[in-house]
Chains A and B, each alone.
Chain A
Amino acid sequence: MAAIVRSRIAAAIAMCAPAQAWSHAFDDRFDLPAPLSYFIAGAAAVVAVSFLIVASFMRRAPSPSTQYTVHAGPVLGFAYNLARLFGLLVFVITIVAGLAGTADPMMNIAPTIVWIAWWVGLSLFVACAGNVWPAVDPWRTLFDLMNSVVRRLGMRNGMTLGWRYPQTVGTWPAVILLLSIGWFEVVYPQAAVPHTLATVLLVWTAATLTGMVCFGRNIWQRNADVFSVYFATLGRFAPIAPRGDRAILLRPPGSGLIDADVGSVAMVAFIVAMLSTVLFDGLLGGPMWALIQRKLAITAPSLTDSNGYAVGAVGLIGVWLIFLLAYLISCAVTTSLTRGVRFKRVVYAFAYTLVPIAVAYNIAHNASNLVTQGEQLIALASDPLGVKWDLFGTANYRAPIGLIDARITWYIAIGSIVAGHVLSVWLAHRVALREFRAARPAVIASLPLTALMIIYTAISLSVIAEPMVKFETPDAVISE
């Protein structure tokens, strides 16, 4: 299944390189697959550490994690307003560039902003630092602006109609939207076409503002606004969190994931979708930037009829359902091995502990790319529309290849996957202790989930090392 889609992508790349475009067509992904020794070392570390954590928990319960509150005073409010302005500005630039700029995704700033800076860069920033999305969220800012204007005009309820959000629908719209984004990003060849991207963003703008008007901003953003739910979930992993208006909270990474349970089946499905879509991306061999290659496929109209959309959708949803089923099965095994905690409770309680694995794979898969491709923003900032401007004198800057050595990339990839796994296993044990009280039942309860995490992590590792098997040893080497 993946192979079909992949070959389609390769075909698109092969045919969309007209002679003149070469000088810009270097945004391929040049990553070397991690060598077998790294893979084995990573896998061994994962299994060893998993058992070490289990063994250490046999003896003692962990102390609650330490947190520090830092008072920032009025600086925080100022930074918040600055961030809102920045978010709105970037949003306007993206839309204008998408609609009015060149159709070449490499020369237009819109695809790089959306897929590299926002979808990869901001995700990793939110996970590793803190959730700044509510501040830079342009739709939230737009709504708040309109709301305050309407209020000033004398309507006391502002823009909100105050409809009741249907309880049964819950967070499912966000789940469906996240899977759709995954499909758009990985399968749909026009995802990096500036005009398509701007159109999709405008459609979403209309939809999300309507939703906020109907149900109220907070209710809408908690349930249907996929970006708010997504960044809020990543933000739970982050070491920094806001506390009130004037202070921030410092905490160990991941500790925010065990403060509460997910509260709904839809949220479980959402977290599993976060994990499965990013892995599916790697499985396709379709890295973030290959899609910007694919956008080049617009120049190849014959591609549109050679389908693969349905195949991609089936693959994406299939991986998600398998992962979801595997999680539910491991929870069912936990329930049958222990007493006193119901199945539903187990499913809700442990779901957040999968987030570190998703974050780790995201880092492993995208870190080097983010640095290399993100650097392209230096040139794009000078010429956002691709019309030969040179606003800051950087329009001809070209990011050097090999800025990050392959060996460093491998260390980051394997290191983050192992670290993410350790964190997930650790958090799962903490949740088990909270739910099952005593150490012994807690260890038994978290064994099925630990096994599942080892499987998820093994998949992450093999995706990082996967393309390795495709090439045979060359015998054309003649050393002098």
Chain B
Amino acid sequence: MKIVFFLLLGCFVCTSVVARAADVSRKAFALTIVKGTVARNERVLKVEKGDVVQITVTSDAPGVLHLHGYQLEAKLGAGVAQAVSFTAHATGRYPFEWHGAGQDTKAQAHAKQPLATLEVWPR
């Protein structure tokens, strides 16, 4: 009985700990902000730990983009593309917040989701 138990436990551990080669890669994304939101396919930025993340941000209005956790911030002018680049060193799910200049805060309150989410998965 004990053997069966430990076999099961072993299977559980082994299937989860599958060592993978550490191949660091670059991941490029675009965030095109229109009226304080981005297109549906830009809302999740999925990378693996250690990846170099490059984000090209543009907005139709000036404002500030803020990535929680990583504490990154980009000030944007209207229509000017800006590149943000960093290494995804910590796993987790981090929200991007967009703070449009002069934008009514109440309007933001109704935007129930963050602008986008960065998901850093373990390798």
Contact = CB atoms under 8 A, between A and B. Distances in A.
B42 interface: yes
A23 B71 contact: yes
Interface of B is mostly: mixed
Interface in A313-371: none
Given A41-B15, A474-B41, A476-B45, A300 B109 contact: yes
A25 B45 CA distance: 21
Given A402-B90, A474-B45, A15 B105 contact: yes
A11 interface: yes
A15 B110 CA distance: 9
Contact of B44 (A22, A23, A471): A471
A87 B17 CA distance: 42
A10 B112 contact: yes
Nearest to B54: A480
A472 B19 CA distance: 26
A350 to B, nearest CB: 24
Interface size class of A (residues with CB under 8 A): 35 or more
B113 A402 contact: no
B108 to A, nearest CB: 5
A333 to B, nearest CB: 27
Contact of A19 (B64, B106, B122): B64
Interchain residue pairs A-B with the least CB separation, the first 4: A402-B90, A30-B92, A406-B91, A15-B109
Contacts of B106: 15, 302
Contacts of B97: 14, 17
Interface string B80-115: 000000000111111101010000011011111110
Given A400-B90, A474-B44, A26 B69 contact: yes
B16 A37 contact: yes
A17 B99 contact: yes
Interface string A8-51: 00111011010100110110101111000110010011001100
B117 interface: yes
A14 B69 contact: no
Chain A CB within 10 Å, residue with most, of B27, B105, B117, B120: B105
B4 interface: yes
A476 B41 contact: yes
20 contacts: A15-B105, A15-B108, A17-B97, A28-B68, A28-B94, A30-B69, A32-B91, A38-B16, A41-B15, A52-B1, A401-B70, A402-B89, A402-B90, A403-B90, A471-B43, A474-B41, A474-B42, A476-B41, A476-B45, A479-B28
Interface string A403-416: 10111000100000
B75 to A, nearest CB: 10
A44 B90 CA distance: 30
Given A11-B112, A14-B108, A45-B8, A28 B49 contact: no
Given A11-B110, A32-B121, A401-B90, A476 B105 contact: no
Interface in B53-79: 64, 66, 68-71, 73
Contacts of A55: 1
A273 to B, nearest CB: 30
A37 B105 CA distance: 41
A199 interface: no
Interface in B1-42: 1, 4-5, 8-9, 12, 15-16, 25-30, 41-42
Given A15-B105, A17-B99, A480 B9 contact: no
Nearest to A418: B12
Interface string A439-480: 000000000000000000000000000000001111111111
